[in-house]
Chain A
Amino acid sequence: MSEDYRSMWTDLGLDLVAHDALLSVLGQGYQDIYLSQKNRPEGMAYFDFVMSEVHGLRIKELLDEKAAGRKIVGSFCVFVPEELVLAANATLVGLCSGADFATEDVERLLPRNTCALIKSSFGFKLGKVCPYLESADMIVGENTCDGKKKAYESLGGLVNNLYVMDLPQVKSANGKALLKAEYQRFKAALEDLTGVAITKESLKDAIHTVNAKRAAIHRLSALRKADPAPISGLDALLANQVFFYDNPARFTESVNKICDELEKRIAAKQGVFPAKTPRILVSGCPQAVPNWKLPMIVEAAGAVIVGEESCVGERGTRHLTDASGETVEQMLDAIVDRHFQVDCAIFTPNPDRLEHIQQMVADYHADGVIHYGLQFCQPYLMESMPVEKALEDRQIPCLRIETDYSMEDVGQLKTRIEAFVEQLK
Chain B
Amino acid sequence: MQITPLLNDGYAGEPAKRVLNYVQDHRQAGDPVVGIYCGYAPIELIQAMGIVPAVLCAFSKVPIAAAETVLPANLCPLIKSSYGFIIEGTCPFYAMSQAVIAETTCDGKKKMFELIADIKPTHVMDLPQVPDEAEARSNWKQMIVKLQGFLETHFDRQADEEKIEASLQAANRKNALMRRIFDYAARVPSVLHWKEMYDLSFLAIAATGQEMVPLLEPLPDILEQRVREGFHVGPPKAPRVLVTGCPVGGDATKIFNTIEVAGGVVVAPDACTGMKAFMGEFAENSGDPIGAMAERYLKIPCACMTPNERRLTDLSAMIGHFKPDAVIDFVLQACHAYNVESFKIGRHVEEVHGLPFLKIETDYSDADTEQLRTRIEALFESI
Residues of A within 8 A of B (CB): 109-111, 113-114, 143, 145-147, 149-154, 156, 164, 166, 168-170, 172, 174-175, 177-178, 181, 345-346, 348-350, 373, 375-376, 378-379, 381-386, 402
Contact = CB atoms under 8 A, between A and B. Distances in A.
A345 B111 CA distance: 9
Nearest to A384: B72
Contacts of A375: 74
B96 interface: no
A113 B344 CA distance: 17
Contact of B139 (A156, A174, A386): A174
Given A110-B340, A181-B135, A379-B111, A146 B304 contact: yes
Given A154-B343, A174-B142, A146 B111 contact: no
A110 B304 contact: no
Given A178-B139, A348-B113, A378-B72, A111 B306 contact: no
Contacts of A378: 72, 74-75, 106-108, 111, 334, 336
A170 B341 contact: no
A348 B114 contact: yes
Given A181-B135, A376-B74, A385-B71, 17 more contacts: A110-B343, A111-B339, A143-B129, A145-B107, A146-B336, A146-B337, A147-B336, A150-B341, A151-B340, A177-B135, A348-B110, A376-B334, A376-B336, A378-B75, A381-B72, A385-B72, A386-B114
Interface in B286-311: 303-304, 306-308
B110 A166 contact: no
A174 B340 CA distance: 28
Contacts of B106: 146, 378
Contacts of A348: 104, 110-111, 113-114, 124
B126 interface: yes
A150 B306 contact: yes
A172 B139 CA distance: 12
B340 A382 contact: no
Contacts of B133: 166
Given A151-B340, A375-B74, A382 B104 contact: no
Nearest to A170: B126
Contacts of A114: 336, 339-340
A177 B114 CA distance: 23
Given A174-B142, A381-B72, A113 B340 contact: no
Nearest to A115: B336
B135 A169 contact: no
B20 interface: no
B65 interface: no
Give the size category of B's interface with A: 35 or more
B378 interface: no
Contact of B115 (A113, A154, A386): A386
Interface of B: 70-72, 74-75, 104, 106-108, 110-115, 117, 124, 126, 129-130, 133-135, 139, 142-143, 303-304, 306-308, 333-334, 336-337, 339-344, 361
Contacts of B341: 150, 153
Contacts of B117: 349
A170 B140 CA distance: 13
A402 B129 contact: no
Nearest to A149: B306
Counting from the closest, the 10 A-B pairs by CB-CB distance are A382-B111, A150-B340, A146-B336, A381-B72, A378-B107, A170-B126, A111-B339, A348-B110, A169-B104, A147-B336
Given A151-B340, A378-B72, A378-B108, A166 B130 contact: yes
- Most chain B beta-carbon contacts within 10 A, residue among A114, A164, A385: A385
Contact of A143 (B70, B130, B342): B130
A382 B143 CA distance: 25
A122 to B, nearest CB: 11
7 contacts: A145-B107, A153-B344, A166-B129, A172-B126, A178-B139, A382-B114, A384-B72
Nearest to A146: B336
Please indicate which of the listed interface residues B139, B142, B340 has the most CB atoms of chain A within 10 Å of its own CB: B340
A174 B144 CA distance: 13
B306 A153 contact: yes
B339 A113 contact: yes
Contacts of B74: 113, 375-376, 378, 381, 402
Nearest to A171: B126
Nearest to B335: A146
B141 to A, nearest CB: 11
A170 B129 contact: no
Contacts of A379: 107, 111
A79 B55 CA distance: 36
B306 A143 contact: yes
A373 B115 CA distance: 18
A152 B336 contact: no
Contacts of A175: 126
A153 B307 contact: yes
B120 to A, nearest CB: 15
B294 to A, nearest CB: 13
Contacts of A386: 114-115
Contact of B111 (A150, A172, A177, A383): A383
Contacts of A402: 72, 74
Nearest to B75: A378
Contacts of B126: 168-170, 172, 174-175
Nearest to A157: B344
A172 B146 CA distance: 13
B116 to A, nearest CB: 12
Nearest to B341: A150
Contacts of A150: 303, 306, 336-337, 340-341
Given A174-B142, A181-B135, A382 B339 contact: no
Contacts of B339: 111, 113-114
Nearest to A373: B72
A382 B108 contact: yes
A375 B75 CA distance: 11
A150 B343 CA distance: 11
A383 B304 CA distance: 20
A135 B74 CA distance: 36
A181 B106 CA distance: 23
Nearest to A154: B343
Contacts of A383: 111
A249 B174 CA distance: 65
A143 B106 CA distance: 12
A379 B334 CA distance: 12
Most buried by B among A145, A169, A348, A378: A378
A113 B108 CA distance: 14
A168 B70 CA distance: 27
A109 B340 CA distance: 8
